[in-house]
């Protein structure tokens, strides 16, 4: 939540930690603290669990199950409310087993169901002070460990409280214990300090997710399509310190790809992403105050973030900072006036703005680790008089090091340590990264095949000089042919040692095997560098171009076309016997293999370009989520989404960089991605008749049954999809999406009618 106070032209943006009824109306108007509507869990006639007295050792065991004693107190309250235990039960009566059993009976945990006068005692705070940033600033941590045992939980509400809470930012940080709660449908964690949301990204049971006002850096792992209700504004992130060698810095695309997937609500100005919504916090009189602007008779905590410079420019998605102030640690004798433009207020230890005419801000200043921050915001809407609403506010502290950056020397040697190529030198700024697998460094050296990096493949520039090596093996010369005795010709001489050819834009290679020579692929079927490819059959990613089972880095099963594993070609290499390989980067973002680099086959039957390379008169949208239509060739300015099964008429085939597009008869464009469209007309299932009774499930992975159909039932089909869409280890079984969930598409079980 944000308030902006103007004092003699100085703007203060205040993030409140503790909100009272006086501020509640303003909060709702700003839209940055939308309350998650909840209902009390039904009490019903659940059997009361009899707990037996535990020893001191057993109480310690309960603490092992759930170390957070604040959470213990809350779950005991809920156990009593839901009549799982008697009203006079206390924690000392549990042993570890009975405590886990009781946790397994809980269906709801919501601290805001507690009467207001008692609520502050149950607030999700454990050692915290309401600030944001590293543990050195706020050591609080409200651990959720133990909730993994609450397997029947359908609702969890640990949001901050706008009336009775002590702070705006509570202490929930790690959501990992929630990842296995398959019945959880309603999750509200508003107003906490969560940074990593990935542990719950795959929870398909959650349909209402509220994450407003946290510190989440990776919203992009979430998919809007998975939720009925989804709110995520007001992320306030303090990044780790950036070490610089000069008073300038370029923040590369801080918000590009930062939003959740598939957010495109036309009523939301910030969806989809556009750099026009980036707001650069550069006024010398603009301060970010993380704290509580209390009522006049209160003393509260204030956290100050001071902009580092006025000299900021926006270049596309990047933000350039110049003239950065020399960093100062707030602990080094910095007064309140120097830190935040505030001075102490006599009598109560608080602070007040310099102007006596302005409404004062009481509070105790909490020192950050740094005074100056590079700050940018991604705004939900254009800034308006009185306040500014941000989707994401990023704060990047920095230190300008006096260290002189040292280069990295790249050597090329054979297995004996003999130099086979001249050295290269990598230079840049302190902290710049390098990757030796890039074609600038991993060179094609005639007569040699790359083998390994020594000692590292990737790293960054530091104040220490570094030397790295790329080790190559020498190619074996071919045998001298033997002349048959009955041929009266001169004995042949051994041919010159063959040289490994450099790879052309469209290489032509033949692939020798022990039995025969087989052409690998026609030239037009070999992908270019930086082009995307996908696998049609089961393949492996190898450490080296000469494939060995002991050097497999990952395996990819055969998948349905719409979910095939994808890679980007970084370069080419040859095995010891001359087979052409792709050097690729894994771009399967939902897989743990995302970002892996290695070698895969170039055989067209196994791997081929993701994008069509030729024109077709008609296309059919085949992806379960359809395909988007755009007015521009670069796929901007979305017009609409064509549902799966829509047949499209093509006017023209066009290229865009290393991708392809199809211009439709109306002049608009769709992608040429084979995972989204397929040439020709293809019928879409519209209805099925059941050959036997079938269960309906909540998702395509059949993780939870939510209905049943009888033999002979006629059911309308919305679309088809496949199970395990993000897995590279499980192939995927076809499913039909119907009203309320998913059913099998097995022709032995259903008869499908197509249209």
For 13-33, how does the pLDDT look when each residue is reduced to its tens digit (9 = 90+)? Answer: 444 344 333 333 333 333 333
Whole-number percent of the chain with pLDDT over 70: 76
| Mean pLDDT (whole number) for 742-754 | 94
Confidence of residue 330 (pLDDT cuts 50, 70, 90): low
CA 522-524-525 angle, to 5 degrees, is: 70
Q: Which of 271-285, 383-397, 406-420 has the highest mean pLDDT?
A: 406-420
Residue whose C-alpha is closest to residue 504's, from 520, 523, 530, 522: 523
User: Buried b vs exposed e over 173-205: b needs ≥16 C-beta within 10 Å?
Assistant: bebebbeebeebbbbbbbbbbbbbbebbbebeb
Q: Report how far Cα 336 is from the mean position of its chain's Cα atoms.
A: 38
- pLDDT of amino acid 687: 95
Contact predicate 301/129, CB 8 Å: yes
Compute the mean pLDDT over every residue in the chain, rounded to the nearest whole number.
Answer: 80
Contact predicate 215/237, CB 8 Å: yes
Indicate left, alpha or beta for 638 from its phi (over 0: left) and psi (-120 to 50: alpha). Answer: beta
Residue whose C-alpha is closest to residue 363's, from 547, 167, 620: 167
What stretch of H or E contains 237?
strand 235-238
For 150-164, how does the pLDDT look when each residue is reduced to its tens digit (9 = 90+)? Answer: 999 999 999 988 677
Contact predicate 620/612, CB 8 Å: no
Task: Give the number of other Cβ atoms within 10 Å of residue 250's Cβ.
Answer: 13
For 235-258, how does the pLDDT look when each residue is reduced to its tens digit (9 = 90+)? Answer: 999 999 998 878 999 999 999 989
Please state at what angle helix 69-81 crosses helix 56-65, rounded to 10 degrees: 90
Confidence of residue 283 (pLDDT cuts 50, 70, 90): low
Q: What are phi and psi of 732, to 5 degrees?
A: 120, 130
Sign of the torsion formed by the C-alpha atoms of 437, 443, 449 and 450:
negative
For 68-122, how does the pLDDT look when each residue is reduced to its tens digit (9 = 90+)? Answer: 999 999 999 999 999 999 999 999 999 999 999 999 999 999 988 888 767 778 8
Residue whose C-alpha is closest to residue 586's, from 577, 578, 595: 595
Least confident among 22-36, 40-54, 361-375, 642-656: 22-36
CA distance 2 to 117: 26
CA distance 270 to 281: 18
Confidence of residue 187 (pLDDT cuts 50, 70, 90): very high
The token pair at 345 is 């207020």
CA distance 716 to 726: 26
Q: Report how far Cα 345 is from the mean position of its chain's Cα atoms.
A: 44
Confidence of residue 279 (pLDDT cuts 50, 70, 90): confident
- pLDDT of amino acid 8: 30
The token pair at 77 is 């309250």
For 346-388, how does the pLDDT look when each residue is reduced to its tens digit (9 = 90+)? Answer: 433 334 444 333 334 445 566 688 888 999 999 876 554 334 5
Q: Which residues are paired to 4 by β-bridges? A: 13
Confidence of residue 51 (pLDDT cuts 50, 70, 90): low
Whole-number percent of the chain with pLDDT over 90: 56
| Mean pLDDT (whole number) for 655-678 | 94
The token pair at 117 is 């006068």
| Mean pLDDT (whole number) for 328-337 | 53
Q: Give CA separation, 711 vs 667, 689, 706, in Å.
A: 47, 8, 17
CA distance 330 to 349: 18
Task: Give the number of other Cβ atoms within 10 Å of residue 328's Cβ.
Answer: 15
| pLDDT greater than 90 at residue 657 | no
Q: Which residues are paired to 535 by β-bridges? A: 607
CA distance 404 to 313: 27
Q: Which residues are paired to 601 by β-bridges? A: 581
- pLDDT of amino acid 755: 82
The better pLDDT of the pair 39, 220 is held by: 220
Please state at what angle helix 56-65 crosses helix 96-105, rounded to 10 degrees: 40
Confidence of residue 54 (pLDDT cuts 50, 70, 90): very low
DSSP string, 507-536: ---EEE-SS-EEE---GGGSPPTT-EEEES
CA distance 474 to 412: 12
Give SS3 for 720.
Answer: strand
Q: Can you tell me which residue has the tokens 């395909």?
A: 627
- pLDDT of amino acid 492: 42
- pLDDT of amino acid 524: 57
Least confident among 133-137, 166-170, 228-232, 642-646: 166-170
| Mean pLDDT (whole number) for 123-151 | 91
What pTM, to 2 d.p., does this model score? 0.51
| Mean pLDDT (whole number) for 529-558 | 95
- pLDDT of amino acid 128: 86
- pLDDT of amino acid 302: 66
Contact predicate 590/458, CB 8 Å: no
- pLDDT of amino acid 340: 47
CA distance 293 to 342: 13
Sign of the torsion formed by the C-alpha atoms of 706, 707, 708 and 714:
negative
The better pLDDT of the pair 99, 521 is held by: 99
CA distance 473 to 475: 6
Confidence of residue 428 (pLDDT cuts 50, 70, 90): confident
The token pair at 500 is 């490994």
Q: What are phi and psi of 717, to 5 degrees?
A: -100, 130
| pLDDT greater than 60 at residue 234 | yes
| pLDDT greater than 60 at residue 337 | no
Q: What are phi and psi of 630, to 5 degrees?
A: -130, 155
CA distance 512 to 634: 41
CA distance 723 to 727: 9
Contact predicate 269/246, CB 8 Å: no
Contact predicate 92/72, CB 8 Å: no
């Amino acid at each position: 939540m944000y308030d902006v106070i103007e004092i003699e032209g100085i703007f203060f943006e205040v993030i409140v930690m503790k909100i009272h009824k006086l501020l509640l109306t303003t909060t709702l108007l700003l839209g940055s603290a939308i309350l998650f509507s909840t209902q009390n869990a039904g009490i019903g006639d659940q059997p009361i669990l009899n707990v037996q007295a535990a020893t001191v050792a057993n109480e310690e065991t309960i603490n092992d199950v759930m170390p957070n004693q604040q959470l213990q107190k809350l779950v005991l309250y809920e156990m009593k409310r839901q009549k799982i235990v008697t009203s006079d039960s206390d924690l000392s009566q549990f042993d570890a087993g009975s405590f886990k059993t009781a946790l397994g009976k809980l269906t709801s945990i919501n601290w805001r169901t507690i009467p207001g006068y008692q609520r502050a005692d149950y607030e999700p705070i454990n050692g915290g002070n309401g600030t944001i940033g590293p543990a050195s600033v706020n050591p609080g941590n409200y651990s959720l460990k133990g909730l993994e045992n609450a397997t029947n939980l359908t609702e969890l509400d640990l949001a901050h409280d706008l009336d009775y809470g002590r702070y705006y930012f509570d202490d929930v940080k790690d959501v990992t214990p929630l990842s296995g709660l398959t019945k959880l449908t309603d999750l509200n964690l508003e107003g906490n300090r969560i940074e990593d949301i990935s542990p719950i990204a795959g929870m398909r049971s959650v349909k209402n997710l509220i994450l407003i006002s946290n510190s989440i850096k990776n919203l992009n792992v979430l998919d809007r399509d998975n939720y009925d209700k989804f709110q995520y504004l007001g992320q306030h992130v303090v990044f780790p310190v950036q070490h610089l060698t000069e008073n300038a810095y370029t923040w590369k695309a801080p918000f590009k790809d930062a939003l959740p997937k598939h957010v495109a609500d036309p009523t939301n100005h910030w969806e989809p992403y556009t750099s026009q919504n980036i707001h650069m916090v550069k006024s010398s009189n603009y301060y970010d105050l993380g704290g509580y602007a209390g009522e006049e008779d209160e003393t509260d905590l204030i956290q100050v973030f001071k902009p580092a410079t006025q000299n900021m420019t926006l270049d596309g998605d990047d933000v350039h900072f110049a003239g950065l102030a020399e960093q100062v640690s707030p602990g080094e004798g910095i007064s309140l006036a120097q830190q935040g433009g505030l001075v102490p207020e006599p009598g109560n230890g608080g602070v007040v703005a310099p102007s006596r005419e302005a409404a004062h801000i009481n509070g105790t200043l909490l020192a950050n680790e740094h005074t100056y921050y590079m700050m940018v915001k991604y705004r939900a809407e254009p800034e308006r008089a009185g306040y500014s609403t941000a989707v994401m506010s990023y704060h990047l502290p920095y230190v300008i090091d006096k260290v002189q950056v040292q280069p990295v020397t790249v050597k090329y040697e054979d297995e004996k340590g003999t130099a086979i190529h001249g050295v290269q030198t990598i230079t840049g700024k302190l902290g710049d990264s390098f990757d030796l697998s890039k074609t600038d460094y991993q060179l094609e050296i005639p007569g040699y095949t790359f083998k390994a990096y020594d000692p590292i493949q990737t790293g960054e520039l530091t104040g220490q000089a570094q030397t790295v090596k790329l080790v190559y093996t020498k190619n074996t010369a071919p045998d001298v042919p033997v002349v048959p005795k009955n041929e009266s010709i001169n004995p042949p001489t051994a041919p010159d040692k063959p040289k490994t050819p450099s790879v052309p834009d469209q290489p032509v290679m033949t692939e020798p095997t022990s039995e025969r020579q087989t052409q690998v692929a026609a030239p037009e079927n070999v992908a270019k560098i930086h082009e995307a490819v996908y696998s049609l059959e089961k393949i492996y990613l190898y450490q080296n171009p000469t494939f060995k089972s002991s050097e497999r880095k990952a395996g990819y099963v055969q998948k349905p076309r719409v979910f095939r594993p994808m890679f980007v070609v970084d370069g080419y290499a040859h095995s010891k016997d001359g087979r052409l390989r792709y050097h690729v980067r894994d771009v399967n973002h939902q897989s743990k293999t995302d970002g892996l680099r290695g070698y895969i086959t170039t055989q067209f039957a196994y791997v081929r370009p993701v994008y069509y390379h030729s024109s077709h008169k008609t296309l059919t949208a085949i992806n379960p989520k359809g395909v988007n239509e755009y007015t521009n060739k670069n796929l901007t300015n979305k017009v609409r989404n064509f549902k799966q099964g829509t047949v499209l008429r093509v006017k023209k085939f066009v290229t865009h960089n290393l991708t392809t597009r199809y211009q439709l008869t109306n002049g608009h464009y769709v992608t040429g991605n084979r995972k989204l469209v397929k040439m020709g007309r293809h019928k879409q299932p519209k209805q099925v008749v059941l050959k036997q009774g079938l269960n309906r499930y909540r998702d395509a992975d059949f993780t939870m049954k939510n209905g049943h159909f009888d033999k002979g039932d006629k059911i309308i089909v919305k679309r088809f999809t496949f199970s395990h869409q993000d897995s590279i280890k499980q192939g995927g079984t076809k499913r039909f999406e119907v009203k309320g969930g998913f059913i099998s598409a097995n022709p032995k079980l259903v008869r499908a009618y197509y249209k």
